[in-house]
Amino acid sequence: MARTIDSRAMGNWFQNTIIATGRLPLFCFFVALIVAFIATRINVRLIRAKVGWFRNVNVGEMHIHHVVFGVVLMLVGGVTGLIVSTGSQIGYAVAACVFGIGSALVLDEFALILHLHDVYWEEEGRTSVDAVFIAVAVTGLLLIGLRPLTWDYGFPVNPAALIVANLALAVVTLLKGKIWTGMAGLFLPVLLVVGAVRLARPGSPWAHWFFAGRSPRKMARAIHREERWRRPVIRAKIAFQEFLSGRHDLPSTLKRRRP
């Protein structure tokens, strides 16, 4: 009986929160993105371990990366979403699923696109996992109804000026090296105020411009905070990421190229 009530409540929630609000395509994209990323990582880990028939896709001596299939699927899903009838939410949902699968394949090799080099299992390859996590987080926030760059500061303000102010705070926060604070702050701008005011991370562009050679004391404080507070969080994040996606522990070819 309790299970029946729970399933009915879940069905009502899904109907009222997802379908009635027109968020079914976004929900399908969200689920497809997560499922496709997990499936891709399972596949590549089995390939890496040389298990059974799992092998890379090769044409002659050319290795076809899955980002190629992702780009094709994103094009198919995106164009399909443009041409389906505006009254067909199911059609949009199917297109969103295809687009979500393609997005997972592309973002899973985001580091390859960024470096123009195959760093999938190297340290730089963690950037791909970060990109997927950010995409999932942003889509999840959109799914629950939050909208970026909108916030009531408690006093009358022009909406355009509010958007410009939030964007400026977001740029400062990101330049200070606080990526997750900047992304979350697009939906909760109070975080942007905190991120913009607090000390920049030592490896950030902001620290390079304003600390290096100009303010050794601030740089020392930034390094101290990084080692005391940030590094343990990063280690925990990496442990969680590699639990899901596999270890990125190969020597960096980018570093080996340096003299």
> Is 45 a member of any domain?
yes
- Which range marks the domain in which residue 122 is found? 1-146
φ, ψ for residue 210, nearest 5 deg = -115, -15
pLDDT of residue 210: 86
* Cβ atoms of residues 97 and 76 within 8 Å: no
> Is 36 a member of any domain?
yes
Distances (CA, A) of 184 to 28, 61, 137: 22, 43, 8
pLDDT of residue 255: 47
- Residue 183 has a CB neighbour count (10 Å cut-off) of 20
Q: What is the pLDDT of residues 61-107, one digit of tens each?
A: 888 899 999 999 999 999 998 888 666 778 889 999 999 999 999 99
What's the one-letter identity of residue 99? F
In total, how many domains does the chain have? 1
> Is 102 a member of any domain?
yes
Q: What is the rounded CA–CA span in Å between residue 164 and residue 150?
A: 11
Q: What is the pLDDT of residues 185-232, one digit of tens each?
A: 888 888 888 999 999 988 889 888 888 777 888 888 888 888 888 888
> Is 114 a member of any domain?
yes
> Is 232 a member of any domain?
no
Q: What is the DSSP string of 130-174?
A: HHHHHHHHHHHHHHTT--TT----SS---HHHHHHHHHHHHHHHH
Which residues, in sequence order, are CB contacts of 74 under 8 Å at separation 6+? 99, 102, 103, 106
Backbone CA torsion sign across 82, 85, 87, 90: negative
Q: What mean pLDDT comes out for the span 124-128?
A: 85
> Is 199 a member of any domain?
no
Q: What is the pLDDT of residues 147-163, one digit of tens each?
A: 777 655 555 566 777 78
> Is 192 a member of any domain?
no
